[in-house]
Structure 1
Amino acid sequence: MPRELSEDPKDRLGVYKRLEEVPSRYRLNQHAAAYRDKDVWETFLEDHLFPQYSSDRYRQDTCRAGQLWKEHMADRGRHHALATPADVDQWCKSLLDRRNVRTVYNHYWVRLERFYSWLLARTDHPHVYQPFLMAAVEYDTAGRIWDAKVSSR
């Protein structure tokens, strides 16, 4: 029987539980030049996500989530694949200003969390930590969305 995942996001993180614990040479901001003009989100959609989920509605919702994320990250002066936990939390706050927690989780968080997990699992990307999980550990707003995730199981 498979072991059930912990509901505590800290238990799902690897070695680094907080951004401050990540050595500066491994932080995502060190890779800004390599990501300039690369649309990693589109690669994720075409190579990974859309082959698994083909409904038009799912694709539309996912594209909308990605577009809002890209705009948010551009406003913060960072590439969409190089977020900090603070970027994630601020995005969650802005989404919750206009939507309920369940909508934010189901239509936005889940897609971007999956994107960062995909980056983390790939050897062609330098990701060694998951900013969405770190945000859930460190910040109240992101933590509320995480709680919506685990309460829906």
Structure 2
Amino acid sequence: MPGIEDLFRIADDAGVRLEIIGGLPVWEALPNLTHQKAIDRIRASVTRSQSGNERCDCLHYADLHIKFPDGSDKRPDIAIFCHEPAETENAVTDVPEAVVEVLSKGYEKKDLELGPPFYLGQGVKDVVVYDPYSKAIRHFDAGGKREIQSPITLTFHCGCQVTF
């Protein structure tokens, strides 16, 4: 029987993205151009805010394989860390400070209903779901959910700021 890394490789070769969320396998088509352009634009805007935590380097990675404390495997569109994350042979094991997911058509339930509570439950402090078509932004943190519109610059709990 193939191991999890073999399944990830098979999924990539087949043009789909595999994530394991709380033991539930979730398949998603690989991102389209609009999705990729949004990720690139958002990543290019990541900086440390003027009043931000000077100990946070605001390192950001796209589609990074992360093994979360509960054993789940996720590949957020953008993961933001204060320091270089620890990596095993196959996955990063540190929990990011913030996660940005770019909404994919047909995968709204995964991005809006499964993702935010999962990430918050694993210790991610800020979760943002951005819709590149409507420019709607949903920002989730321990205080709840805020719905706002792009263009806007958000400052996360770690002191990193991101423009949508």
Whose helix fraction is larger, Structure 1's or Structure 2's? 1
Would you call these one fold, judging by a TM-score over 0.5?
no
Whose strand fraction is larger, Structure 1's or Structure 2's? 2
- Say which structure, 1 or 2, has more relative contact order (CA 8 Å, 6+ apart): 1
TM-score (norm 1): 0.32
TM-score (norm 2): 0.30
